[in-house]
């Protein structure tokens, strides 16, 4: 667990260093909830601003830095997506490769599977999308529950149902 001294919580440079170390969280969440590069950049900036506002009150005894960042980033992203939907401008998840490690170097089959996974994630409601992102990040059930404010048994059940639904949606249609 990363320890953040209380004295550093008012220091902009300490926050910038922390944000830089964990920037992948912000980029992944923004990429999952924003339509295009401009929207992703705006959402990432909005997330960073909210993290900065919450930074002085961060309680190291309650959660790890990544858990705290995911909780804030996902709340901002879900609110952003809801606002975009209300105003008619929201389209779920940009299907282009974004922040995928070695995406350009991956073979065709790997790119196809990644594309199908992104489509499956995009088709989920906001809470399930958040759950899938955390699950794919290999976060523990406890951490996912903490970030999303769910019970651990609810997380386990939701993951099981989501995996089943995605498998069923990906299955080729049966022919008569």
Annotate 33-59 with b (16+ C-beta within 10 A) or e (fewer): bbbeeebbeebbebbbeebeeebeebe
CA 22 to each of CA 19, 72, 117, 139: distance values in angstroms, whole numbers, following the listed order: 5, 13, 23, 14
pLDDT for res 42: 92
Q: Where are the domains of the chain?
A: 6-170
Res. 3: pLDDT tops 70: no
Neighbours of 162 (CB within 10 A): 18
Task: State which H helix or E strand residue 121 sits in.
Answer: helix 108-122
Q: What is the pTM of this model?
A: 0.64
Which pLDDT belongs to residue 21?
92
96-132 per-position pLDDT tens digit: 333 443 344 457 777 777 777 777 777 888 888 889 8
**Helix axes 108-122 and 126-136, enclosed angle (nearest 10):** 140
Closest alpha carbon to 1 in 58, 69, 67, 51: 67
pLDDT at 175 over 90: no
């Amino acid at each position: 667990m990363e320890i953040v001294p209380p004295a550093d919580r008012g220091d902009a440079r300490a926050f910038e260093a922390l944000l830089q170390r964990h920037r992948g969280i912000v980029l992944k969440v923004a990429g999952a909830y924003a339509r295009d590069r401009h929207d992703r950049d705006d959402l990432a900036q909005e997330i960073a601003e909210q993290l900065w506002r919450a930074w002085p009150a961060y309680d190291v005894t309650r959660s790890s830095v990544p858990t705290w960042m995911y909780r804030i980033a996902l709340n901002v992203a879900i609110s952003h997506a809801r606002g975009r939907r209300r105003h008619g401008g929201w389209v779920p998840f940009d299907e282009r490769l974004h922040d995928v490690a070695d995406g350009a170097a991956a073979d065709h089959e790997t790119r196809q599977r990644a594309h199908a996974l992104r489509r499956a994630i995009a088709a989920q409601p906001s809470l399930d999308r958040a759950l899938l992102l955390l699950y794919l990040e290999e976060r523990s059930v406890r951490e996912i529950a903490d970030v999303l404010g769910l019970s651990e048994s609810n997380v386990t059940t939701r993951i099981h149902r989501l995996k089943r639904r995605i498998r069923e949606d990906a299955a080729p249609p049966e022919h008569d």
